[in-house]
Amino acid sequence: MKVTFKLETFEGPLDLLLHLIDKAEVDIYNIPISVITAQYLDYIQGMQELELEVTSEFLVMAATLLAIKSKMLLPKPPVIEYEDPDWEMDGDFDPRAELVQKLIEYRKYKGIADHLREKEQERSLLFTREPADLSPFVQQTVENPVEGLGLSDLLLAFKKALRKQMSRNQVARIRRDEISVKDRIRQVAETLRESGGKILFSGLLSEDNTREEIVVTFLALLELMKMKQILCYQHKLFEDIVIQAREDGNWDGVAEVEVDY
């Protein structure tokens, strides 16, 4: 008949002892050392029968359990009293005390390790992303445009608005200075004489010229071209227009010309 053993894997002899104590449901402070030792030795024997490697620490613990068991079977030594109380030996010394202390410490750190392992598993289920700029979602606080203003400030603003309204109702006569085409022809002729008979079109205008003055300047140039007093040309496309006085032109009668517009 084939017998199959199913053995759990333990991290060390203390882990195996805690398992045996929890399985037997006994108090860790009052371990039935004979029962636990027998179960521990059965486990070691099962590992050897399955040809599993038994580490030295398991064998050391087996020897420790046997030593504790033998001490528990021996009669307790009598209490020896000395004159010095510090030298008094207690016959109620429990040989299991050192082992119990190790088991308690091991159980505490094992519980901490299990708790950290659970936290690690919970954290592994979380996925993070790169931090994003959430400033567009921050609620903007609207400033009060009249914050800090009192009744007197409102009255002053009201009076100022009334004064502006009254000034709008005033009617003023504006007389526009006009220039005729004849006068502009005379001005262009004088400018050509001062510049040696040649000038650029941009030299006749400035940023202060009104629309009417620009139109009058164009009409004056057209009249001078019609009178064959000037030539207008460009060196290249979109360059400034060059205005040049004709050599055969007669400028004496230009000032007396009559232009009807």
Residue 101 sits in which domain range?
13-124
For residues 120 and 189, membership in a common domain is answered with: no
Q: Stretch 136-158: mean pLDDT, rounded?
A: 78
Structure tokens, 95: 């040989």
**Residue 112, pLDDT score:** 92
Number of domains the chain contains: 2
Residue 147 lies in a domain: no
For residues 106 and 28, membership in a common domain is answered with: yes
Residue 148 lies in a domain: no
More confident residue, 98 or 151: 98
CATH code of 204's domain: 1.10.10.580
For residues 104 and 185, membership in a common domain is answered with: no
**Residue 183, pLDDT score:** 86
Q: How far is CA 102 from CA 17, 38, 144, in A?
A: 11, 20, 71
**Residue 92, pLDDT score:** 60
Q: Which of 94, 124, 154 is the last residue of a domain?
A: 124
Answer for the pair 188, 155: CB distance below 8 angstroms, yes or no.
no
Does the pLDDT at position 192 exceed 80? yes
Contacts 24+ apart (CB under 8 A), 216-221: 216/179, 216/180, 216/181, 216/184, 217/184, 217/188, 219/181, 219/184, 219/261, 220/181, 220/184, 220/185, 220/187, 220/188, 221/188
Question: Could you count the other beta carbons within 10 Å of the beta carbon of residue 123?
Answer: 8
Q: Stretch 9-27: mean pLDDT, rounded?
A: 82
Q: Look up the pTM and report it.
A: 0.38
Kindly report, residue by residue over 97-146, the tens digit of the pLDDT: 888 888 889 889 888 988 999 999 998 888 888 888 888 888 888 787 76
**Residue 96, pLDDT score:** 81
Q: Which of 105, 124, 143 is the last residue of a domain?
A: 124
Which of 259, 180, 188, 254 shows the shortest CA–CA distance to 216?
180
For residues 92 and 194, membership in a common domain is answered with: no
Kindly report, residue by residue over 55-77, the tens digit of the pLDDT: 788 888 888 888 888 887 777 66
